[in-house]
Chain A
Amino acid sequence: MEYAGLAVVFLLALLIALGQAFLNDLIGYRKPDPMEDYPYECGVPLYDESVRGRFKQGYYLLGLLLILFDIEAAYLFPWAVVFEEIGLYGLVEALLFVGILALGFLYAWRKGALDWEL
């Protein structure tokens, strides 16, 4: 039943967001101008018609690292919740797990994955 609350909030939020997204199309005033939808770039005609071309690889590298470390963090959440019940076994296991994670982290660091390469 508690999850129903989330569903209700989701519906209301969706309604509000749809309202915000389409309000101007409904009640905003309309006076089309031939150049009003031209993307601007320092006041000169565009060099590239589309900007979705190449971008810096550093962003991609950081994205890869996120997948690694965020999933590790997600594994540690259930461990933290039941920490008191599982005792020494859980502690040692988690220390090993974090140790391996730290090794991977040091490897990425030494390889220069954390440096913002230009």
Chain B
Amino acid sequence: MERELIESLLFTVLKVLVVVPVALGVGAYLTWFERKLAGHIQNRMGPTVVGPFGLLQPLADALKLATKESVIPRGADRPVYYLAILLALVPSVLLLALIPWGPAFELGGRVIKPIISDVNVALLLAFAFGSLSVYGTIFSGWASNSKYAFIGSMRKAAVVIAYEVVLGFSVLGVVLLAGTLSTVGIVQAQIERGVWFILYQPVAFVLYMFCMLAESGRVPFDVQEAEAELVTGYNVEYGGMKFGAFPLAEWYLNVIALSAIAVVLFFGGWSGPSILGPLSPYFWFLVKTFGLVFFTMWLHWTLPRFQAKDITDVAWKILLPVAIANVVVTAVVKYFF
């Protein structure tokens, strides 16, 4: 018993040590990918100087960020100023624990699940962590003692709370169909039926995509950054690695995690034709996830930005009624058929 406990704890630590550093590394390299993509969308080359195809650019950026002087604006609330960084990064990393990368398999007589914590309230936890990260934004704006940062953080708070509500209602349809909140369970429900939930819940998927863009502060909902008016908004008074934490958490880790959850909810998780043998579930999961990440970046560099007032208007007056109607229709249809 004792031995088993220690063994399973060891496996958990091992899984964490694989998933989290890889995700952070991918997050850092997505900066390179995004700059390349943005460059080509705007008919430029993107980074080309550091390394072949600019591939060493993220390392150079990290080195530069790490050696910057630490400047904290006068009048700043120092404990809150540092707390904001922790509150921005920690929930985004925690989201990674709830993502099922593939089906459970057996290795040497023990069952291994490629998910760090397979709990039955995973979806609820995911949205809780998503909501927590808004504190990072609000605290950073409040603590910085700068008007740009303050306005940016208030806007972000308004946007995120509007879309939180829509997000909650939009995934209810999928939960109704699957009958579980566990991420593994939702994927299995889709595999058993042999159909992806996007076919039953197309409206919910569109609503989810709206919410995903709003929560991760991506164009067209990036009013909190608004570089033309607020010079990047809530994190403008942060420098060096302190600054680096915010885009890493919000633009990259959040987008990866929310895309992965979208894949779980709507695209059948790891399901797909077995083209790579035992590795194909992971292949399909990553392909679908990064397809969505790519889609998000594509929108980011193509669309213009909404006004803060239009964003909250769209959320409350259009998306929320549609989301509630979707839940009611799903429940009624599911009961009678």
Give Cα distance in the complex from A83 to B165, angstroms: 21
Pair A39/B94 contact, Cβ less than 8 Å: no
Known: A13-B20, A91-B332, A91-B335. A28 touches B240 (CB 8 A): yes
Q: Which of these, B93, B96, B119, B150, contacts A55 with CB under 8 Å?
A: B150
Residues of B within 8 A of A (CB): 5, 8-9, 12-13, 15-17, 20, 24, 65-75, 82, 85-86, 88-90, 93-94, 96-97, 116-119, 123-125, 142, 144-147, 150, 154, 157-158, 161-162, 164-165, 168-169, 172, 175-176, 179-181, 237, 239-242, 244-245, 308-309, 312-313, 316-317, 320-321, 324, 327-328, 331-332, 334-335
Give Cα distance in the complex from A63 to B88, angstroms: 20
Q: How far is the CB of B66 from chain A (nearest CB, A)?
A: 6
Q: How far is the CB of B325 from chain A (nearest CB, A)?
A: 9
A–B Cβ pairs within 8 angstroms, 13 of them: A8-B116, A21-B241, A24-B65, A24-B69, A24-B242, A28-B68, A28-B69, A66-B161, A69-B320, A76-B327, A102-B324, A114-B316, A116-B308
Pair B328/A98 contact, Cβ less than 8 Å: yes
The A-B contact count (CB < 8 A) is 214
Q: How far is the CB of A30 from chain B (nearest CB, A)?
A: 6
Pair B66/A24 contact, Cβ less than 8 Å: yes
Give Cα distance in the complex from A102 to B164, angstroms: 17
Pair B169/A20 contact, Cβ less than 8 Å: no
Give Cα distance in the complex from A29 to B25, angstroms: 25
Give Cα distance in the complex from A87 to B336, angstroms: 10
Q: Which of these, A4, A66, A116, contacts B9 with CB under 8 Å?
A: A4
Set of chain B residues within 8 Å of A80, measured between Cβ atoms: 172, 175-176, 179
Q: How far is the CB of B41 from chain A (nearest CB, A)?
A: 29
The residues in A between 30 and 79 inclusive whose CB is less than 8 angstroms from any CB of B are 30-31, 36-41, 49-52, 55-56, 58-59, 62-63, 65-66, 69-70, 73-74, 76-77
Q: CB of A10 within 8 A of chain B?
A: yes
Set of chain A residues within 8 Å of B161, measured between Cβ atoms: 62-63, 65-66, 70
Q: Which of these, B119, B123, B154, contacts A2 with CB under 8 Å?
A: B119
Pair A1/B145 contact, Cβ less than 8 Å: no
Pair B119/A39 contact, Cβ less than 8 Å: no
**Minimal Cβ-Cβ distance residue in B for A95:** B328
Set of chain A residues within 8 Å of B71, measured between Cβ atoms: 36-37
Pair A39/B72 contact, Cβ less than 8 Å: no
Give Cα distance in the complex from A58 to B89, angstroms: 28
Pair A114/B313 contact, Cβ less than 8 Å: yes
Q: Which of these, A52, A94, A98, contacts B150 with CB under 8 Å?
A: A52
Q: How far is the CB of B88 from chain A (nearest CB, A)?
A: 8
Q: Mark A80-101, 1 if CB is under 8 A from B, else 0.
A: 1111100110010011001001
Pair A37/B74 contact, Cβ less than 8 Å: yes
Known: A17-B85, A23-B66, A66-B161. A6 touches B327 (CB 8 A): no
Q: Which of these, B94, B145, B164, B312, contacts A9 with CB under 8 Å?
A: B94
- Given pairs A12-B20, A50-B145, 8 additional interface contacts (CB within 8 A): A3-B117, A6-B116, A17-B85, A20-B244, A23-B240, A40-B146, A65-B165, A77-B181
Top 7 A-B pairs ranked by shortest CB distance? A73-B168, A5-B117, A13-B93, A116-B309, A24-B240, A66-B161, A24-B70
Pair A17/B90 contact, Cβ less than 8 Å: yes
**Minimal Cβ-Cβ distance residue in A for B89:** A17
Q: Which of these, A5, A52, A69, A74, contacts B12 with CB under 8 Å?
A: A5
Q: Which of these, A6, A16, A25, A29, contacts B117 with CB under 8 Å?
A: A6
Pair A9/B157 contact, Cβ less than 8 Å: no
Pair A6/B324 contact, Cβ less than 8 Å: no
Set of chain B residues within 8 Å of A12, measured between Cβ atoms: 16-17, 20, 93
Pair B94/A6 contact, Cβ less than 8 Å: yes
Set of chain B residues within 8 Å of A3, measured between Cβ atoms: 117, 119
Q: How far is the CB of B251 from chain A (nearest CB, A)?
A: 15
Give Cα distance in the complex from A18 to B85, angstroms: 8
Set of chain A residues within 8 Å of B74, measured between Cβ atoms: 37-39
Set of chain A residues within 8 Å of B65, measured between Cβ atoms: 24
Set of chain B residues within 8 Å of A101, measured between Cβ atoms: 324
